[in-house]
Each structure stands twice: as structure tokens, then as C-alpha cells.
């Protein structure tokens, strides 16, 4: 008998209701049940998503590192894991993709268990769409804590305005950090509706993100990242707009990120032809980066998470 999966913790209707106050939506809130082992496990709702899918109590911490990235640079012939996730005190990593698996195995001394990216489990929990999608959801490549982004937004807006009618209306999906930086002001000034999934510490982020994707017929973007892969697995075609993007690395210790951006930039050609649905190659690429082949059933994931709990010392007489 197939295993049942839980539904989303937030509805499509509530996701759209949350768009009425973006200042409130992008407020950074401490999770009700923060992960006590590795707090970044909660980022983008990934830890809560895994616990929900596996039927683990929300107050339970995950005794492992849950990566939220999907790309690991190839340096000197070896995949590299980010330094901030190479923590000796946490010996286990729940790897997302083959590249993630390789990167953490290269660090040595880690127990690496592949389970796929946590967002796969949120996708698996989605209910059938209640209404046909319409228009487009546009993603502007976003900055991070260590990178600054430069685009010609005036030209970008002209490009969006010039798209055929079938792509309209176009909603602009804001990233929390760039919202704080005022990067979406040009779009608001031009009358575009800006929407978002919340801040990085919002446990409902991944669910809102997926609801917003499924509300649209097309995804538009200036680059390839996880939103493109998610759209592919949801059956939504993506069109990458030919727009120069300049990234400036603020901290030299993160210079390795240049290669990850170059790898992603090289994938743009896969998504620069308009399609009515994702191609077989696009879907295979998305499954590779998200680690779909490693996805577990609810009972399998529960068994893995339970096995990571520290064992109480045995009592001796």
C-alpha cells in the first residue's frame, strides 16, 4: 500500500493573502521550534519540511547538517563543500545531490547520507492544483550576504514589457534580502505586482515558493537556480531572458562562489528557447541538481532521522 504524505502547512489562498503586506511577510522571525543542533537547518523551511514529511514532532532537532544549496564547485578536480557546513561537532550530513555527496565525502570524517534536497519533499506533498495557472512569475537573480548583484533594471523592465501577451500578467518574485535593499523599487514604480515567499528563516518559505510557482503558466528569470529546477519538476516551462548579470564578491574567503555562478551561467542555454512544457533534458537536469534519485519515502526518512538521535547511555547494575 502506498504511503500517505501530509498536505502543505499553508494553503494557496493563504499564500496569496500573505502578499497584501510584503513588509510584514519579509520580517525575520525566529522559528517556533528552532533546530538546536544546527540552526541553519531551518533556513527556507527545509528542516521543518523534512520533519513534517517524516512525521517527526516539530520540536525535534535534526542531528545532522541539512544543506540547502544545490551546487558544489569543482576545485582542483574535486567537489568542495562550503566551509560553514564542515563542522566537526556534527558528524552527519544529509546530502542532496550526487555533487553534494561527493563534496562532503571529500572533506573526510563525515557520515554522508543522500536524501535529495529537502524541497523535493514539499513538492511531493502538494495537492492537485485547483485552478489553471496564468501569466508569469519572474525571478531576478538575487544577491547574498557575500555577493552584490548589478543589473540594468530599466532594460530588464523593457524586456518584460515587450514579451508576448501570453506571458502577461507578470508578477515579480522578490528575494527577502534584495527586498530589504530596495532592489524591487523600479518594478513597483512601473506598476508590477511584487510577491514573495518570506524571509530565509520563515518555516513556510518553501511552501509559499511552490504555491507561487504553481499559480503561473510560465517562469521567467535572469539566471538558473533552484527556482528553475523546482518549476521543471512542477511541469512549468522556464524562459531565461538574455540579460547581463554582474556579481561582486564582497569577501575573498568566498571567492570560490565565482565558479558556482559560472557553472550555473553555463546552464542558461538550456532554458533560452520558449517551450510549452519542460523538455526531457530540462527535467533530467533538474532531477540531477535536486537529487531526485535519492528521495526517500516517509517511513525511510523517519527511520533515518530517528537513527541520528544520540543514544542514551546504557544503565549498568
Report how far apart, in Å, the C-alpha atoms of 107 and of each of 116, 216, 261, 308 are.
Answer: 19, 41, 22, 20
Share above pLDDT 70 across residues of the chain, in percent, rounded to a whole number: 90
Of 52-61, 129-138, 250-259, 266-275, where does the model show the most confidence?
52-61
Q: How confident is the model at residue 71 (pLDDT cuts 50, 70, 90)?
A: confident
Give the pLDDT score at 244: 74
What pLDDT score was predicted for residue 259? 64
Torsion of Cα atoms, 232 then 233 then 236 then 241, to 10°: -20
Cis omega (within 30 of 0) for bond into 70: no
285: pLDDT strictly greater than 70? yes
- Grid cell locating 310: 544520540
133 exposure class (CB count in 10 Å sphere: 0-12, 13-18, 19+): middle
pTM given for the model: 0.92
For the chain, strand residue ranges (E) read: 74-75, 78-79, 92-95, 111-114, 136-139, 147-150, 170-174, 193-196, 218-221, 238-240, 246-249
Amino acid at each position: 500500500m502506498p504511503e500517505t504524505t501530509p498536505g502543505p502547512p499553508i494553503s494557496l489562498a493563504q499564500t496569496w493573502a500573505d502578499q497584501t503586506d510584503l513588509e510584514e511577510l519579509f520580517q525575520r522571525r525566529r522559528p517556533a521550534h528552532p533546530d538546536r543542533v544546527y540552526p541553519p537547518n531551518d533556513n527556507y523551511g527545509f528542516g521543518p519540511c523534512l520533519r513534517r514529511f517524516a512525521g517527526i514532532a516539530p520540536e525535534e532537532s535534526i542531528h545532522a547538517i541539512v544543506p540547502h544549496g544545490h551546487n558544489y564547485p569543482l576545485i582542483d578536480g574535486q567537489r568542495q563543500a562550503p566551509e560553514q557546513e564542515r563542522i566537526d561537532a556534527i558528524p552527519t550530513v544529509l546530502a542532496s545531490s550526487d555533487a553534494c555527496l561527493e563534496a562532503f565525502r571529500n572533506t573526510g570524517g563525515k557520515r554522508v547520507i543522500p536524501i535529495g534536497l529537502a524541497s523535493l519533499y514539499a513538492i511531493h506533498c502538494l495537492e492537485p492544483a485547483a485552478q489553471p495557472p496564468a501569466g508569469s512569475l519572474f525571478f531576478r537573480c538575487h544577491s547574498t550576504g557575500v555577493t552584490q548583484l548589478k543589473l540594468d533594471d530599466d532594460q530588464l523592465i523593457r524586456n518584460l514589457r515587450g514579451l508576448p501577451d501570453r506571458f502577461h500578467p507578470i508578477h515579480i518574485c522578490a528575494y527577502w534580502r534584495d527586498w530589504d535593499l530596495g532592489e524591487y523599487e523600479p518594478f513597483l514604480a512601473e506598476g508590477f505586482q511584487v510577491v514573495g515567499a518570506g524571509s530565509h528563516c520563515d518555516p513556510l518559505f518553501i511552501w509559499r515558493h511552490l504555491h507561487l510557482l504553481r499559480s503561473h503558466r510560465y517562469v521567467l528569470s535572469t539566471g538558473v537556480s533552484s527556482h528553475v529546477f523546482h518549476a521543471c519538476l512542477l511541469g512549468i516551462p522556464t524562459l531565461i531572458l538574455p540579460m547581463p548579470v554582474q556579481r561582486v564578491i564582497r569577501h575573498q574567503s568566498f571567492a570560490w562562489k565565482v565558479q558556482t555562478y559560472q557553472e550555473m551561467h553555463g546552464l542558461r542555454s538550456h532554458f533560452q528557447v520558449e517551450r510549452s512544457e519542460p523538455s526531457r533534458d530540462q527535467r533530467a537536469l533538474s532531477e540531477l541538481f535536486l537529487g531526485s534519485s535519492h528521495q526517500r519515502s516517509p517511513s525511510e526518512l523517519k527511520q533515518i532521522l530517528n537513527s541520528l538521535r544520540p543514544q542514551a547511555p546504557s544503565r549498568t547494575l
